[in-house]
A and B are shown apart, each in its own frame.
Chain A
Amino acid sequence: MNQAKIIAQLKGGDREKAFARLYRYFPKIERYIKMNSGSKEEALDIFQEALIVLYKKVQTISTHSEVNMDGFLVNTCKLLWSNELRKKKVRKNSGEDGLQQLAYADEIAEQVEKERKLSVIEEVLNDLGKTCKDMLNAFYYKRLSMDSIAKKFGYKTVQSAKTKKYKCMEHARKLAIAANEESNLKTSAL
């Protein structure tokens, strides 16, 4: 379909619409994962992760680039699912060689690893409390101005909203450092 339009939507703010369009590839992935001893829920998780990887990829290219989104998504899902299977120890090394040959394999693997590390931060943000999480999301992800954030969250002045935002970031940072130390301890214990 209209690939350039999806890229434009992913680069502009219309991520939800772009994702809704890209979900038409999901049935294919669902079949693939179900055929490889997975469930629909797992397929949904894998596909969602692949959408994030694709999003990051799209941020690095121009709107008119020729990217086979379908192929990129499928390859990402294959790599992600192979990782998942290895984690589950269902399959040891079989099929790995084939996956190295996939287009964008290195690029995808790199991004997948980045996202895996970010899942620690994801947990930190979930522990942060709703107001802080929403506020940081509004500023950093939705890129709302501090004016509108102050109004939205009911602060009388922009400055007090800013202060709250920095306090939230401070709190989040502390939680993240603690979480990193914990995961480092776990890793070294292993």
Chain B
Amino acid sequence: MRKELMEIEKIEQYLLGKMNGEEAKAFEQVMASDHNLAESVAVQKEMMEGLERVGLKTDAQTGYRRYKLKMWASQIGIALGVLIIGAGIWYFVSLEDKKAYCICSEKEMATIEHSEDAMPNQPECIDTCPPAPMIETPIIESEIEEVTETAEDLKIITDTILEIDTIINIEVLDDEHYSGTGGGSDNSNMHQTDNDNAIQPEFPGGRSAMRQFIATNIRYPQNAFNQGITGTVEVSFSISETGQLGNYKIHKSVNNELDAEAMRIIKKMPKWSPGKVAGEPTSMNFILPIVFEIREE
């Protein structure tokens, strides 16, 4: 080893305290008289401190990364907690919906007390009942059978993929025998629609347009849904010669909430094209049944 390197080794031993007392003393004596050696020791000492500083900085950076990871992990933990709580509430809520539905499919118009009493006897409902409500396009009575078949098909599919869904049917029964019925008996000035020359008043765009209108505007009232209240609300109203709607009445009631919702929709309707008798626009009465039904697929 070169002379210079041997000097470095000596300085290192001195600085790290690896010299025994006598050696150290002798070294310090040489240092006192040798200015160059003293300077070398000082620089080497500085170098050791610099190395410590660099090492500490690296450790601090590693520490910061660990700290951030920990913070990140705890935030993820919180997020997961919220998710689990959220899922818990959702599951609870959906379970409630199932109860309401299941009972009501057995006993129509069942009240809450009934549903709670009946619950233990019908545990199988919970497995098949739906989590979230959705509103299906209302259908005309004549089409119900077809749609029900589709629903049957869907049920098989949904069962296999374990996706259970509810469909709330709000159906519009505007079958001809409803329209213009006995309304005339209430108002003597109204023409009977069983007149051969009579033309029915019509929602602008016809039945399909009316179904569309109702489907997009109607909401199944939340309480009624939760309680599983279903039924057909019949609303009677008049269509004037100009097509203006008026004289709204609940012809057949189910409950306040469902009645109000049916009424709200009818009142929201635009002008109809008026009914005609012998080519002349004539005011007529009309009864429109709206079916609120919770159905499982």
Contacts and interface: CB of A to CB of B under 8 A. Distances in A.
Given A163-B5, A170-B5, A176-B43, A19 B64 contact: yes
A142 B12 contact: no
Contact of A15 (B1, B53, B59): B59
B51 A19 contact: no
A161 B52 CA distance: 20
Interface string A48-60: 1001100100000
A169 B50 contact: no
A32 interface: no
Give the interface SS of chain A, mostly helix, strand, loop or mixed: helix
Size range of the chain B interface in the assembly: 20 to 34
A162 B12 CA distance: 12
Nearest to A141: B55
B79 interface: no
A140 B51 CA distance: 7
A120 B5 CA distance: 23
How many chain A residues sit at the interface, stated as a range, is: 35 or more
Contacts of A121: 46-47, 49-50, 53
Interface string B56-69: 11011111101100
Contact of A19 (B49, B54, B60): B60
Interface SS, B side: helix
B64 A18 contact: no
B46 A118 contact: yes
A22 B70 CA distance: 13
A20 B65 CA distance: 8
Contact of A122 (B54, B60, B66): B54
B85 to A, nearest CB: 26
A169 B56 contact: no
B30 interface: no
Interface in A127-179: 133, 136-137, 140-142, 162-163, 166-167, 169-170, 172-173, 176-177
A100 B123 CA distance: 76
A113 interface: no
A149 to B, nearest CB: 14
Q: Which of B49, B53, B55 has the most CB of A within 10 A?
A: B53
A125 B63 contact: no
B64 A44 contact: yes
A115 interface: yes
A163 B6 CA distance: 9
Contacts of B59: 15-16, 19
A72 B228 CA distance: 66
A18 B56 CA distance: 11
B44 interface: yes
B65 to A, nearest CB: 8
A125 B62 contact: no
A29 interface: no
Nearest to A180: B43
Contacts of A163: 1, 5
Contacts of B54: 122, 125, 133, 137, 141
Interface of A: 15-24, 26, 44, 48, 51-52, 55, 114-115, 117-122, 124-125, 133, 136-137, 140-142, 162-163, 166-167, 169-170, 172-173, 176-177, 180
Interface of B: 1, 4-5, 8-9, 12, 40, 43-44, 46-57, 59-64, 66-67, 70
Given A17-B63, A52-B57, A118-B53, 4 more contacts: A19-B66, A51-B56, A121-B50, A125-B50
